Structure formats: structure tokens, C-alpha cells
Amino acid sequence: MVRRTFSRRSFNKTASVTAAGPFIHSRRARAQETADVIVIGAGLAGLNAAGIMADSGLNVTVLEGSSRIGGRVWSTTKTWETNAGEVPIELGASQISGSYARVLDAVDRLGLTLIDQDREVLPFSFHMNGMHIKAGDWADSPANPLEGEEREIPATAYGSTTLAKLNPLVELDDWLDPRFSDYDVSVHDLMKRNGVSEQGIRFSTVSGLGTEIHSVSALRYFQERTRGTLESQFVGPLDEDGKPIEFWPKNILGGTAMLPRAMVAQLPGRVHTNKHVAAIEIEDDGVDVRTLDGSRYRARFVISSLPFTVLRSLSIWPRPPGPQFQAIQQLNYAETTRAFCRIKEPFWQEDGFEPSINSDGAVRMFWVMDNHSGEGEHRGMFVVTGQAAFRVSARSPEAASAYLVKELERMRPASKGQVEVLRYHSWGNEPLQRGCSPMFAPGQVTAFANEMIIPHGRLHFAGEHTRRLEYGMEAAMESGERAAFEVLDRT
Ligand SMILES: Cc1cc2nc3c(=O)[nH]c(=O)nc-3n(C[C@H](O)[C@H](O)[C@H](O)COP(=O)(O)OP(=O)(O)OC[C@H]3O[C@@H](n4cnc5c(N)ncnc54)[C@H](O)[C@@H]3O)c2cc1C
């Protein structure tokens, strides 16, 4: 249990600074709320940090810029019909893996229920070089640019399969180890230096990797890949015949947003929404936080869980040191644009191609999700990533949705009139996120990945982008836990 009061050492220090500084004293008087710790951002990282510190007896205030809590966990009021009944359309995270220790612990503690995921994506056909190709015809298709045995690799898998073979990492934190800094180069350069053919490198941009092969460090891919390998080995408890008892990933009953909502319920009165933080001023004895509506808050410590795409627009005084400042200003983020659809009739029965599609055009991926009867209405999702997503999301939501549907109709005339967009979302256009996930550019892991999480005076850093070992929601929880313990160690 951590004491709520100041230690004698910090009390003496504070008392002397306060006595000597009327300026600081007057600032404190103007703060409308004081706390031991202010957490900025009510996504999973911020809420996990706040919960751990509140449980340890600290007085915590959470400031959230939006009217909605959860950040990149966003279950909408629009629903989809699945085998598990009506489920909310999830604009962000939904899949919970069996190896997510912290997320599963929170789900359990907060009394939430896990349900089997009902998102079986139906097989893919390919639209490449202007041709629509069945999966079985891919190896012999004139649109297949590869040679020899590589022609057999499905077009959806070539990029990631080829890159996976070049992964030197074994331990989850190897990506941060300077021994591997030689791999902090673009995916393109790594493939080239390992003799992947020019055709193969080019093809990987439409087969799983995107034109980000130039702008993303191979170490960023390898971090997720290494964590993903661990995931694929996870089976959980077995039955008496040696078969896994549970099937992963799972979803949360009622939507993923049930998790941040339940976390907030554990922090009564401490989470303030519509408090868009604009400035953080760090002093010797505390931190001053100002929001766009003119409110002032003061605490002994602050944890920021803001994505660096957003944090870079705040005033932080004094300025963080070199590599950390560089990280805040420059850390790359990926864009994901999705359109969630209703498919009125299974148009693939008319054109005879596999239902889902992977293309080298603007659409990139259109997933069709099984309704388990094969007949009638299905779910569909446009998944546009990388540069293609930036191009699509430059349009208004209505224009972008219409464009995606039209593109699908161009590739598959049988889909005409069958696909209705229920909800469209661009994470790059979301003002409090400005991106989907951190994507270190070549050289950025070496330049600042280790330094970017070091506390800057009384300001600590959390958020998925400060991950060390994990990915997805578990990375957000991991980061909140780390930042909370950093603060607890100082109180
Ligand atoms: C499309 C998509 C699908 C995903 N799918 C999965 C999945 O299936 N499984 C999985 O494990 N993970 C998934 N993820 C990743 C997961 O959503 C994230 O890792 C996690 O939610 C990030 O949490 P966070 O707290 O770090 O950041 P965020 O959730 O982004 O939280 C940051 C918070 O800060 C707030 N904020 C921003 N600026 C300010 C400001 N100036 N003042 C005050 N508040 C501010 C934001 O509103 C937000 O609430 C997905 C992500 C996306 C985008």
C-alpha cells in the first residue's frame, strides 16, 4: 500500500520551494483541482495506470479530451447480426488473444464476459494487374509476377511470408537491443540486401506489406512478428484428448467498450471527459496541466498516454530532451480506413470467384464474413491501409464510402447494388488519435525507442506506442502498468 501523504523528503523539498516561490504558490491556488497524479487520456493505457495508482491509495484525476472514453476501443451503436446475436460494429480493437494476461485479468476482475469471436473471413480471390483471378489459378496466372516455387504462395501472403524468413529476433525485447540496429532499415532495403528479387519486393507492396516497405523500419515489423509467433504457440488448457478447451481470439459481450467503461466505474468521479489538454508545465514540485476550456489542474506527477501524433501539438515546458523530443515530433503512425458493410445477397455465387478480395488497387482488401448459412445477408468490410488509406480518407466519409463500393463494383460487377456501407471510419482523420498505430520509420528505433519512455521530470509516458514487449490492447495495458509503477516508486 502506498501512503497518500508526501514523504518527509519530498515534503521538505516542496515546502522549501513553495516558501521561496510565490509564483508557484499562486499557480497552485489557481488550479481548480489538485491530485497526486493526473493521467491524460482515458484509453486502456491511461485507465490501467489510473486504476493501479488509485488501488495503491493515490489520488488520481483522469483528463480525457473526448466526450467518449476508450480511445481506440470504440464499439458503436450500429450493430451487426452474427451467430452470437447482434454485436456492435467495432471501429477499433475487438480481438482478445489467449495470451493477453493483463486484459484477461481486467475482464475477469471487472466481471465482464468473453464470447467466441464470430468473424470467419471467407476465402480470397485476387485482383491484380487488371485481372480477377481465382485462388486456385494464381500459380499459373499471367498476373503472377513471381518465379519458381514462389508462384505457389497466395497473393495475400507473399509479403509477410518473405519478410518473416528474415526475422532475426528471438526475445520479445530484442527489437530494442542495439545488437539488432543493423535491421533498423526500411523493409525494402532489408529485402534487397537479402537477395529478394526486384519483382518480389515490388509485389510485396500489394501483398500484405504496402508501400510502407520504404517508410517503416523492419524492426517494427519484427517486434510484432516475434510477439505474434508467441501468440500462435499459445493454446491454453487442453481437454482429456489433448485438444484446446478454448478457441481464441475472443470478444467481450456487449462490445469491447465494456472494458474501458468498467475501468472508469472503478474510479468514481475521477474521470473528466471533454477536457482537451493543451499544455503541460513541469516544475520542481509539481506539474501544471491546462485544458482548452481554460481549466487548470495540478498534481505531483502526470502520466501522458496520448499518441505522439497528438502530444506533438501540446505545449510541454520545459521541452523534453533531444531524442524524446524527436520521438514526440517524428514517430510515424499508420493509417487504417475501414468501411463496415451489409451484403444483401451473396454476389460471389453469381460470379463464381471466392467471396473476399485482395487487390493491387485502392480497395486493397474487402473481407466477406461468413453468416454460417451461406445464403442471404452477409457482413463485409473494406480494410484499406497505408498510403492507399491516406488517399481514400482524403475524401469526405460519404464520398470515400461511395468510392470504395464503386471500386468493388468495377472489379466485381456482380456486387452492384449488393453492398451497403453501414459505418465508415478513418483513424488518421480522428483528431485525438491521428493514426491507427505507431510505425517506427527506418532509423527511428535506434534514434529514440529506448529514450522516448524515460520520465521527463515529473512527466511520465504511457500508451501503446511506448510498448516494450506486447502488441495491441495488451501493449496499452503493459504501458499503463509500467508508468503507474514508475510513479509509485517515487511516492
Ligand atoms: C482499427 C483498429 C483495430 C484494432 N484491433 C485490435 C484488436 O483486435 N486487438 C487488439 O488487441 N488491439 C487492437 N487495436 C489496438 C488497440 O486499439 C490499441 O492498442 C489500444 O486501444 C491503444 O490504447 P491507448 O490507451 O494506448 O491509446 P488510445 O486508445 O488512443 O487512448 C488515448 C486517449 O487519449 C485521448 N486524448 C488524445 N488527445 C488528448 C488531449 N489533448 N487531451 C486529453 N485527452 C486526449 C484520446 O481521446 C484517447 O481516449 C486496434 C486498433 C485499431 C485502430
Please indicate whether residue 277, judged by its CB atom, sits closer than 6 Å to ligand 1.
Answer: yes
Judge whether 22 and 14 are in contact, CB under 8 Å. no
* CA–centroid distance, residue 45 to ligand 1 (Å): 8
**Which pLDDT value is given to residue 162?**
94
Please indicate whether residue 51, judged by its CB atom, sits closer than 6 Å to ligand 1.
Answer: no
* CA–centroid distance, residue 366 to ligand 1 (Å): 24
**Which pLDDT value is given to residue 29?**
52
Q: Which residue has the cell 535506434?
A: 446
Please indicate whether residue 40, judged by its CB atom, sits closer than 6 Å to ligand 1.
Answer: yes
Q: Which three cell numbers stand for residue 378?
A: 452477409
**Which pLDDT value is given to residue 25?**
41
**Which pLDDT value is given to residue 277?**
98
Averages of pLDDT over runs of 10 residues in the chain (491 residues) are 32 32 47 92 98 97 98 96 86 96 98 93 95 96 93 92 96 98 98 95 88 93 95 86 89 97 94 98 97 97 98 98 97 94 97 96 92 92 91 96 97 98 97 95 98 98 98 98 98 92
* CA–centroid distance, residue 306 to ligand 1 (Å): 9
Judge whether 267 and 60 are in contact, CB under 8 Å. yes
Q: Which three cell numbers stand for residue 396?
A: 469526405
pTM of the model: 0.93
Tell me the domains of the chain and their CATH numbers. 8-71+253-331+441-489 (3.50.50.60), 118-139+336-426 (3.90.660.10), 157-233 (no CATH)
User: In this structure, what DSSP letter does residue 452 have?
Assistant: G
* CA–centroid distance, residue 261 to ligand 1 (Å): 14
Please indicate whether residue 49, judged by its CB atom, sits closer than 6 Å to ligand 1.
Answer: no
User: In this structure, what DSSP letter does residue 384 have?
Assistant: E
Please indicate whether residue 432, judged by its CB atom, sits closer than 6 Å to ligand 1.
Answer: yes
Q: Whose CA is nearest to atom 35 of ligand 1?
A: 41
Q: How many CB atoms lie within 10 A of CB 308?
A: 23
Q: Which three cell numbers stand for residue 225?
A: 512478428
Mutation choice for ligand 1 from 72, 223, 250, 297, CB with most ligand atoms inside 8 A: 72
**Which pLDDT value is given to residue 130?**
93
Judge whether 303 and 40 are in contact, CB under 8 Å. yes
**Which pLDDT value is given to residue 146?**
93
What secondary structure does DSSP assign to 161-216, as a single string? HHHHTT----STTGGGSGGGGGG-SBHHHHHHHTT--HHHHHHHTTTTS-GGGTTS
Q: Whose CA is nearest to atom 53 of ligand 1?
A: 436
